[in-house]
Chains A and B, each alone.
Chain A
Amino acid sequence: MTSQILQKVDHSALKTNQIIIISLNILAFILNLPVLAAFVALVMGIGSALKVPGFGIVYKNLLKPRGWMKPDVLDDNPEPHRFSQILGFVFMTAGSLALFIGSSVLGWSLVWLVVALAALNAFGGFCVGCAVYYWLSRFQLPGFTKQPPAGTFPGMKPKAGVSV
């Protein structure tokens, strides 16, 4: 494994983002509201453009200041998480479009795929999008330059806790 400079990444912000994505998507499915799924896609898209977790604003302005969620700052690469959100955005956009043109099965399947991947990340600590990023990095694809933090399986959450 090569040495590299890692950055501080607050995994609580990522987790909040994932849990909100999961909740809103399940709600969209139960209430049969494609517009809510499209809203999730839109927020993920805005987050990707701004290089922040889409719903991270909820953590930053509500959960963290009130102490409802504690920071979980780890030495990590932010790039794979951004890539992961872009992948989620693509799936959500495709899913929303499918729902709007009447392909319910395809649309909701894509939405549930995003729910499953977000849940795996939030509760299992495994980021599939990050694993894909590191896999592409192994093939030296331009733009995919980061390696997993030392001692961490590609896509798994690094385990060091740093208080802020």
Chain B
Amino acid sequence: MSSDILLRFAFAIGIIVLGVGAYRLMNQRLLVRAKNNVFTLFSTLPNKPVIVYFTTPDCAPCKTVQRPALDQVTNLLGEKLQVIEIDAYERPDLARRWGVMSVPTTFLLDARGEARYVNSGVARAEKLMKQIQAL
């Protein structure tokens, strides 16, 4: 009886680990996709951290939360950071290439133009700052 429970427990853990792994893999693939498409935005390396911000004109949280958060980060870091804003309606090709499924979505690129973090949904200023500091 108890060995049966242990076996089932191990099986459940295995499935959960597989699920978590699949989720992380999906995020990783999104970052690889961004890395492969970084030269759709730059002709040369940015040499400073970059936030690529996907938005649309009718996205309310973009206006009320994401834009102020980006402004806050930009005010703090000034010239040390570049923010590239992309309207997903105007540039559906870029949204598709970068694998963007909802707005706002922010990608954080390091100075070598490598995508290191992706935030699907609102990312507050504190979170963005932490991610930038970790670049």
B102 touches A (CB below 8 Å): yes
What's the least CB distance linking A33 to chain B, in Å? 11
Q: Which of B36-74 contact A (CB under 8 A)?
A: 56, 58-62, 64-65
Q: Which of A88-138 contact B (CB under 8 A)?
A: 112, 116, 119, 123-125
Of A42-50, A77-85, A149-157, the one with at least 4 CB within 8 A of chain B: A149-157
Which residues of chain B are near A156, meaning CB under 8 Å?
101-102, 120
Which residues of chain B are near A153, meaning CB under 8 Å?
101-102
| Dominant secondary structure at the A interface | loop
* CB nearest neighbor in B for A26: B12
B19 and A119 contacting across the interface, CB-CB below 8 Å: yes
A150 and B12 contacting across the interface, CB-CB below 8 Å: no
A31 and B12 alpha carbons, distance in the complex (Å): 11
B12 and A30 contacting across the interface, CB-CB below 8 Å: yes
A98 and B102 alpha carbons, distance in the complex (Å): 38
Give per-residue flags for A16-31: 1 if the beta carbon is below 8 A from chain B beta carbons, else 0: 0000000000100111
Taking Cβ atoms with an 8 Å cutoff, the residues of B that contact A are: 4-5, 8-9, 11-12, 15-16, 19, 23, 56, 58-62, 64-65, 101-104, 120-122
Tell which of A26, A75, A123, A159 touches B121, judged by Cβ atoms closer than 8 Å: A159
Interface size class of A (residues with CB under 8 A): 20 to 34
Taking Cβ atoms with an 8 Å cutoff, the residues of A that contact B are: 1, 26, 29-32, 75, 112, 116, 119, 123-125, 150-153, 156-161
B8 and A151 contacting across the interface, CB-CB below 8 Å: no
Tell which of B58, B65, B120, B122 touches A150, judged by Cβ atoms closer than 8 Å: B58
B58 and A159 contacting across the interface, CB-CB below 8 Å: no
A124 and B96 alpha carbons, distance in the complex (Å): 20
* CB nearest neighbor in A for B103: A151
A30 and B8 contacting across the interface, CB-CB below 8 Å: yes
A123 and B121 alpha carbons, distance in the complex (Å): 13
A151 and B23 contacting across the interface, CB-CB below 8 Å: no
Which residues of chain B are near A32, meaning CB under 8 Å?
4-5, 8
Closest 9 CB pairs of A and B: A151-B59, A160-B61, A153-B101, A159-B61, A150-B58, A156-B102, A159-B121, A153-B102, A30-B8
Can you name 16 A-B pairs with beta carbons within 8 Å? A29-B11, A30-B5, A30-B9, A32-B5, A75-B60, A116-B19, A119-B19, A123-B23, A150-B60, A151-B62, A152-B102, A159-B61, A159-B121, A160-B60, A160-B64, A160-B122
